[in-house]
Amino acid sequence: MSLSKLKLKYLRSLRQKKFRDREGKFIVEGFRLTSEALASDFPMELLVFTDDFLGNPDHARLVHRARERKIPVEEVSRRELDSFADTVTSQGVAAVIGKHRYSLDDILKSNRGGSSSMRERRPQVVVALDGVSDPGNVGTIIRTADWFGACGVVMGEGSVELYNPKVVRSTMGSIFHLPILPEANLLKTLGELRKQKFVLLAASPSSPKSYLDVPYFQRTALILGNEARGVSAEVSKNVEFVVSIKRLGNADSLNVGVSCGILLSRFCQRDGSP
């Protein structure tokens, strides 16, 4: 079996940001991400797989579930798949997904994980990206925010595109778990978060103030900056705290995803308090 030329052209076009923008669609690859997409509220427009994919019963069930939900399913050749897939070994499955348009309200209303009484006590944390540019870093940050039950992620101007295949892949499925605002107006969004009683906290390796010396807040917005330039001056002057993670050795810097994990491990859980 084979895809129509038109459909193949469409799938290939989605490798480019401008077509993802225009169509409001993106591609996920591999069994795990495709399964996560199918289990989410994101609309699946098309599922494609190679004939060897069905050999595994879990894989066959995924295709069966998609068919039950009236999602168009098509078999493709390995060569066709490789022509629009980003990964070399894409496990023989991919899907076209419609973008989900979240608003800041979705983030503010998201009460993630735990019982309702626990939720009351648990701090609410929003992660904001000020020009984080490496796809792997952004994916890792989203995955880490998901692990620690953050309310959502705000991606300011100059950050890498959320639907970049490498970002999608390195979220390990978390792109489907929590509200994310791509291409947000960062200063405006931070202003709105402040009105909602979020304390704004920017990470900067050059700050003399350790994150361990900042008290807990019920609502924190954690701002992470570009890998080379850090958080912009305009954002920094509008935050309550600029904090660093104290260097005890000789490395020039910490990876921004690692920094995100260290800061979330503190600000998302009260029992991490000093």
The site string for a second copy over 208-247 (x = CB under 8 A, - otherwise) reads: --x-x--------------------------------xxx
CB 122, CB 149: distance < 8 Å: yes
Q: Which of 186, 187, 129 is nearest to 160 (CA)?
A: 129
Task: By CB under 8 A, tell whether 136 contacts a second copy.
Answer: yes
User: What is the token pair recorded at 182?
Assistant: 């791509």
Q: Which of residues 40-69 bind a second copy (CB under 8 A)?
A: none
Cα torsion through 225, 154, 144, 23, rounded to 10: -110
Task: By CB under 8 A, tell whether 98 contacts a second copy.
Answer: no
Among 113, 185, 188, 209, binds a second copy (CB under 8 A): 113
Among 45, 71, 111, 147, binds a second copy (CB under 8 A): 147
CB 220, CB 123: distance < 8 Å: yes
Task: By CB under 8 A, tell whether 173 contacts a second copy.
Answer: yes
User: What is the token pair recorded at 210?
Assistant: 């350790």
HSE-CB at 214 with a 13 A cutoff on CA atoms is 24
Give the number of other Cβ atoms within 10 Å of residue 268's Cβ: 21
Q: Which of 223, 228, 229, 227 is nearest to 243 (CA)?
A: 223
Least CB distance from residue 100 to a second copy, whole Å?
15
Task: By CB under 8 A, tell whether 112 contacts a second copy.
Answer: yes
Instruction: Give the count of residues interacting with a second copy (CB under 8 A).
Output: 45
Residue number, 120 or 157, with CB nearest to a second copy = 120
User: What is the token pair recorded at 12?
Assistant: 């290939």
Q: Which of residues 13-32 bind a second copy (CB under 8 A)?
A: none
Binding site for a second copy (CB under 8 A): 112-114, 122, 136, 140, 143-150, 172-174, 177-178, 210, 212, 245-255, 257-262, 265, 268-269, 271-274
